[in-house]
């Protein structure tokens, strides 16, 4: 059967993507989805290597490992030298040209019920990964992604920026910084053919969401959801695939809430 225009505009065949936070629930779903669309994916992780290595093995088993469709790269995105090395490794492994950056790496510390009780260490951890890490990755991408109309930057904010939920002050502030940074970056990239957008998921059933919450607290989020459930990583990944593809090429400088209508 001939490929339809809609299908062909979504393909990522021949493109190289870097996904940070690849060991996380959303990051792993995004990595799988981009690979399924034809991209070769450098999956960046920080911490335990086992989950991301299993992810990469699974992607290569599904889509072919010669040449590999995915590889794992250890990188602390809050460290500029490690971010540069991440881009270097991805370029060297996949033929030199880079097209897509997706920054799902994030830290959420829900240990403190109010801003007044939040520790400086918690604040620094969230801003270090969420804001500084996004800045460093975007800076590298702005200088290194292909400028042939296929360059795509997809950052990750949070619908928590708009919900103003107590306990999330530092986290939401770090994600608000991401939104502003991304929208300004899109304007600064005028003439390069690179787009920059932010995806802002709502409450999503990942280990990061459940960490620090009692079952009763998690149930309250479900009770508030218009669709009667938490989001799934697989609900988020197709939006990223769209933004990374030719089909999403006219979407730029936007923050896209992907939250089932929770706010």
Residues 6+ apart with CB under 8 A from 124: none
Domain assignment of residue 4, yes or no: no
- What is the CB neighbour count within 10 angstroms for residue 246? 16
Q: Where are the beta strands (DSSP E) in 49-188?
A: 70-74, 100-103, 152-156
Q: Is the peptide bond before 67 cis (omega within 30 degrees of 0)?
A: yes
Give domain status of residue 78, yes or no: yes
Residue 243 lies in a domain: yes
Q: What is the pLDDT of residue 7?
A: 55
Bridge partners (DSSP) listed for residue 40: 16
- Whether 161 and 176 have beta carbons less than 8 Å apart is answered as yes
Assigned domain for 89 exists: yes
CA distance 61 to 235: 23
Q: Please check whether residue 75 lies inside any domain of the structure.
A: yes
CATH number of the CATH domain containing 94:
3.40.50.720
- pLDDT of 14: 95
Rg of the chain in Å (alpha carbons): 18
- Given this model, what pLDDT does residue 2 score? 39
pLDDT for res 217:
87
Catalytic residues: 171
- Residue 75's Cβ-side half-sphere holds a number of Cα atoms within 13 Å equal to 32
**Is pTM, for the whole model, over 0.85?**
yes
Q: Give the integer Cα–Cα distance in Å for 57 and 53.
A: 6
The answer to whether position 220 is within a domain reads yes
- Give the number of other Cβ atoms within 10 Å of residue 162's Cβ: 18
Residues of the chain with pLDDT under 70: 1-7
68: nearest Cα among 98, 96, 92, 94: 94
Would you say 191 and 147 are in contact if contact means Cβ atoms under 8 Å apart? no
| Distance from chain centroid for Cα 49 | 18
Q: Alpha carbon of 163 to those of 107, 173, 216: distances in Å?
A: 18, 12, 19
Residue 19: domain span: 12-258
Secondary structure (3-state) at 21: coil
Contact 152, 194 (CB under 8 A): yes
What are the residue ranges of helices labelled H in 149-214? 160-163, 169-188, 207-210
CA distance 104 to 245: 18
- Report the domain count for the chain: 1
Which pLDDT does position 5 carry in this prediction? 55
Strand partners, 19: 43, 102
Any domain includes 223: yes
Q: What is the pLDDT of residue 64?
A: 81
Nearest to 69 by CA among 58, 79, 80, 78: 58
Confidence (pLDDT) at 8 = 73
**Predicted local confidence at residue 110, as pLDDT:** 84
Burial class (CB in 10 A: 0-12, 13-18, 19+), 72: buried
Domain-located, residue 238? yes
Q: What is the spatial distance between Cα 193 and Cα 186, in angstroms, rounded to a whole number? A: 10
């Amino acid at each position: 059967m001939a490929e339809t225009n809609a299908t062909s505009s979504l393909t990522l065949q021949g493109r190289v993507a870097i996904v940070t936070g690849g060991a996380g629930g959303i990051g792993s779903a995004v990595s799988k989805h981009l690979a399924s669309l034809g991209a070769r994916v450098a999956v960046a992780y920080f911490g335990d290597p086992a989950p991301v290595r299993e992810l990469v093995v699974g992607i290569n088993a599904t889509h072919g490992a010669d040449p590999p469709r995915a590889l794992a790269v250890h990188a602390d995105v809050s460290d500029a030298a490690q971010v540069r090395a991440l881009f270097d490794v991805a370029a060297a492994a996949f033929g030199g040209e880079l097209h897509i950056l997706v920054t799902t790496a994030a830290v959420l510390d829900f240990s403190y019920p109010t801003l007044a009780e939040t520790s400086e260490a918690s604040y620094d951890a969230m801003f270090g990964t969420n804001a500084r890490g996004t800045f460093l990755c975007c800076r590298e991408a702005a200088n290194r992604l292909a400028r042939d109309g296929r360059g795509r930057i997809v950052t990750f904010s949070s619908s928590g920026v708009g919900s103003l939920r107590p306990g999330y002050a530092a986290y939401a502030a770090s994600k608000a910084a991401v939104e502003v940074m991304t929208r300004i970056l899109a304007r600064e990239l005028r003439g390069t053919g690179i787009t920059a957008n932010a995806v802002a998921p709502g409450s999503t059933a990942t280990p990061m969401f459940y960490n620090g919450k009692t079952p009763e607290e998690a149930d309250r989020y479900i009770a508030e959801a218009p669709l009667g459930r938490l989001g799934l990583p697989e609900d988020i990944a197709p939006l990223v695939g769209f933004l990374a593809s030719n089909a999403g090429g006219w979407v730029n400088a936007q923050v896209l809430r992907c939250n089932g209508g929770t706010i």
